[in-house]
Structure 1
Amino acid sequence: MTTSQPELLPGTRRALLHRIAVAQAEGRAPSLVAAVVRDGKQVWTGARTSVEGHAPDENVQYRIGSITKTFTAVLILRLRDEGVLDLGDPLEKHLPGTGVGEATVADLLAHTGGLAAETPGPWWERTPGSLRPELGDVLGERPVLFPPGRRFHYSNPGYALLGALIERLRGASWEEVLRREVLEPLGLDRTSVRPQAPHAGGWAVHPWADVMLPEPAEDLGRMAPAGQLWSTTGDLSKFAVFLVNGDERVLSAGSLREMRTPAAPHEAADVASGYAYCLGLEIRRQQGRALVGHTGSLPGFLACLMISVEDDVASVVLANCTSGPLLFAVAADLVRIVAEAEPRIPAPWKPLCEADPATLELTGQWYWGTHAFALRMTADGLLSLGPLSGNGRRSRFRANGDGTWTGLEGYYAGELLRAVRRPDGTLSHLDLGSFVFTRQPYDEGAAVPGGVDPQGWRGIG
């Protein structure tokens, strides 16, 4: 939570406009529209155009391609939170007969199901969905390339399967479920499966000449959950706020944190580029800044939504061309410009209203062997464990209500932290997934695994 900040300074606004103007001109995009979100609201919009008479505004629709996958992932997480499915469930449990049922729901969300990247037959993004009326037409005769869970391999058919899963469990079309459960509650009334005026037309720009060719805007049918949606910078700005803060009518902030957590194995190239895939979201690193969101493309359109949670800044960039400007680079620069020119102002520190004495007793310095750690109680009700100096394992812990705590991230994610007391009730040590943390290095008064030499600490002589 940040304190309220004024509108962007004139110098920042000019820098943002300059960046998209360069992108549109050098990328030879018929039009490019962008927005910046800070502190939960849209604080800047800009547009450049050359062919459509006037610059598009925040209400003009563009096709957003694979950003659609993030919307589909939200619907799946809703089903999980309702207890209808578990992310570890094999697809076969809920959608039998596909031939790829060994892949789990989480595998499909994270593109680790081993499925092929594309559908067989004609280029699905430029041909009618009626050519692929059944899931078998989407999957083809060789849908699986790798064993499930082994590696990240981006798969558009995987999200078609997730759309079919949503339809099976909800008893309604993916489009209807999306409208009812996400678009309407969040007020995204300019996001739709089919274009609604005013909308941009999609163009292919000749790579070697300044001429253009209109691209078809096909209904993708079964592939819709992978890339069908049209939206605006206005709606995607609202969606960016939701992806950080959550909305209890749609999905909690906790579930969205889970969506933003890497879930796919890293390949060597991904590690080098700072790329990771989560559950319907991508994480990319640019100049030391972690950006989470999604890119998208379909013939005639490019799209990008990126959020720096740490800076509390998000950007949306849309263009109506098949190729040209590198929208991720543009979106990353828009975030950087705002974050560096007008850094986030943190909320003032405030003490806790009250503190549980039993929890307060746990805080302070602890040792795992000879490694010194500090356990702190934070204003959000969590415990935070980290090394006193240098690098080391860090994690926050959430209370379970029974005197134990569960790790939320890093090495200790999901691990149980509990305080171990002596028969007289005094605190002996902490047990963290079988690791013993003591108040002194190898405290002889605690149950240190392997015991402590009875002669104690000594020098060499």
Structure 2
Amino acid sequence: MTYSGVLLPSTRRALLHRIAVAQTEGRAPSLVAAVQRDGGIAWSGARSCVDGHDPDGDTQFRIGSITKTFTAVLVMRLRDEGLLDLDDPLEKHLPGTGVGQVTVFQLLGHSGGLGAETPAPWWERTPGDVRPELADVLGERPLIHPSGHGHHYSNPGYTLLGSLVEKVRGDSWTEVLRRELLEPLGMNRTTPQAHAPHAGGWAVHPWADVMLPEPAEDLGLMAPAGQLWSTTTDLLRFAGFLAQGDERVLRGSSVAEMRVPAAPPETGDWSGTYGLGLQAVRRGTRTLIGHSGSLPGFLATLLFSVEDDVAAVVLSNATSGPLTGTVAADLLEIVADAEPRIPAPWRPLPEVDQELLALTGPWYWGTQVHGVKLLADGDLEFQPLRGAGRAARFRARSDGTWTGLNGYYAGETLRIVRAADGTVDHLELASFVFTREPYDRSAATPGGVDEGGWRGLAT
């Protein structure tokens, strides 16, 4: 049995109440939100005091830095096609920037040491043609920290990545984005320029309930860092892709790689980290993945939980006020906590691999016991059976070895070592040997086993 996408009335009311409070307390001209579960939109809602009607899932808002995630996907596509390596210095593909020693990986994860912003004037409120060259974006002192030593968020860094995409593809960033990402995913309402119906951007006076229209500038070279307009419907479709992957755009293992922290967080900011074009936020025991965005007149947040299979989007047309990141996380948790995901029913394996079955059960590193379990998808689960320790999942390789997928043993090789008669003698993992008995005398235990064997105190 699975649950339908329809939420309980109490859950829907809690969601509506949350965005109503956010719109009122944040004094937002309008705010629209939606939640996705099981791959379908489970709820949407909006509050507005302008335009005479509430926005809906088809209404465009500017999404600011969520654009960076789209740019990161395009770069990861280049990597998967073998056109570049993430450890390549920028100079190898985009010469003449003055920061060519910074790697593609460092730019994606904001650890290149570049400044957070461009030189004056304020680029988000300035026509893009004011900065026609990369030198105008980077300024006279583009590197303000040592490259690779830590996280420092950089808008110019994603301008460089957009230019990198253009250089390698031989086409404009907007065209590559449309052709390789937006069209395959059916994101027809995500565009570089606004298309009706769309919200207008507003600034709300901090000390009075009055508003001022904000300009909507074309960002020019800075577009890959924050240009896009989108809708809740399109962004939830994007969230589903970022959680699972789509072979037409980027495989699941590559989007999973984007979610992995790329550098230590900035000092004092231990509640969240940054992967490759994706932010990660800790909320209790949950890790929420996504990105926030802001431009004059607009605030936006997209968050999803892979484990809960829930995503939330919140968009508002205010320069400041509503805390869209907090609201999106709250919406996600309202659904995940009130109506937790029902696991798929347990089923036995369709067929039994006797050799793999023989590997299951207890294995000992010295006197520490670990268990090996055969999973339904053919992977092996390896974990300590007492207390905390180094657990990992392993996947088979064609040469008979196994590769660690997570934790301490991620990327490490597990080998099954057999005796002369073909029976399994021991397991090798990194430099460790695991035997069927504690210090098994019949196995190739490093250092050997004392001839006298186990003994008591009086021996």
TM-score scaled to structure 2, two decimals? Answer: 0.97
Q: Distance in 2 between matches of 1:164 and 1:33?
A: 32
SS of equivalent to 1:362: coil
Q: Distance in 2 between matches of 1:426 and 1:268?
A: 52
Closer, same or farther: CA 367–15 of 1 in aligned 2, 3 Å: same
Q: How does 1:72-87 map to 2 (within 5 A)?
A: 72-87=71-86
Counterpart of 1:405, as a letter, is: W
Aligned position for 1:211: 210
Give every structure 1 segment of 4 or more consecutive aligned residues whose post-TM-superposition deviation is greater than 4 Å: none
Q: Unaligned stretches of 5+ in structure 1?
A: none
Aligned position for 2:27: 28
Counterpart of 1:337, as a letter, is: I
My pick for the range that moved more, 174-183 or 3-12, is 3-12
Q: How does 1:185-264 map to 2 (within 5 A)?
A: 185-264=184-263
User: Are 2:298 and 2:316, in contact at CA under 8 Å, matched by a contact in 1?
Assistant: yes
Aligned position for 1:406: 403
Corresponding residue to 1:437 among 428, 434, 438: 434
Q: Distance in 2 between matches of 1:267 and 1:382?
A: 36
Aligned position for 1:309: 306
Q: How does 1:25-174 map to 2 (within 5 A)?
A: 25-174=24-173
TM-score scaled to structure 1, two decimals? Answer: 0.97
Q: Distance in 1 between matches of 2:3 and 2:71?
A: 32
Q: C-alpha displacement at 1:268, in angstroms?
A: 4.6
Correspondence 1:424 to 2:421: yes
User: Are 2:5 and 2:41, in contact at CA under 8 Å, matched by a contact in 1?
Assistant: no
Aligned position for 2:180: 181
Q: Distance in 2 between matches of 1:228 and 1:103?
A: 24
Q: C-alpha displacement at 1:28, in angstroms?
A: 0.4
Aligned position for 1:3: 2
Aligned position for 2:383: 386
RMSD: 1.3
What's the CA shift string for 1:230-278, capped at 9, x where partnerless? Answer: 000010011111111211101111111111111112345232xx20111
Q: Distance in 1 between matches of 2:419 and 2:266?
A: 47
Q: Distance in 2 between matches of 1:89 and 1:378?
A: 37
User: Are 1:41 and 1:241, in contact at CA under 8 Å, matched by a contact in 2?
Assistant: no
What's the CA shift string for 1:318-345, capped at 9, x where partnerless? Answer: 0000110111110111011111111111
Q: Distance in 2 between matches of 1:366 and 1:258?
A: 31
Q: Distance in 2 between matches of 1:442 and 1:420?
A: 16
Q: Distance in 1 between matches of 2:335 and 2:396?
A: 36
Q: Distance in 1 between matches of 2:5 and 2:165?
A: 42
SS of equivalent to 1:270: coil
Counterpart of 2:247, as a letter, is: E
Q: Unaligned stretches of 5+ in structure 2?
A: none
Aligned position for 2:374: 377
Closer, same or farther: CA 268–454 of 1 in aligned 2, 3 Å: farther
Identity %: 69
Aligned position for 2:285: 288
Counterpart of 2:440, as a letter, is: D
Q: Distance in 2 between matches of 1:253 and 1:424?
A: 41
Counterpart of 2:295, as a letter, is: L
Q: Distance in 2 between matches of 1:282 and 1:20?
A: 22
User: Are 2:202 and 2:296, in contact at CA under 8 Å, matched by a contact in 1?
Assistant: yes
Q: C-alpha displacement at 1:293, in angstroms?
A: 0.6
Q: Distance in 1 between matches of 2:451 and 2:211?
A: 83
Closer, same or farther: CA 6–203 of 1 in aligned 2, 3 Å: closer
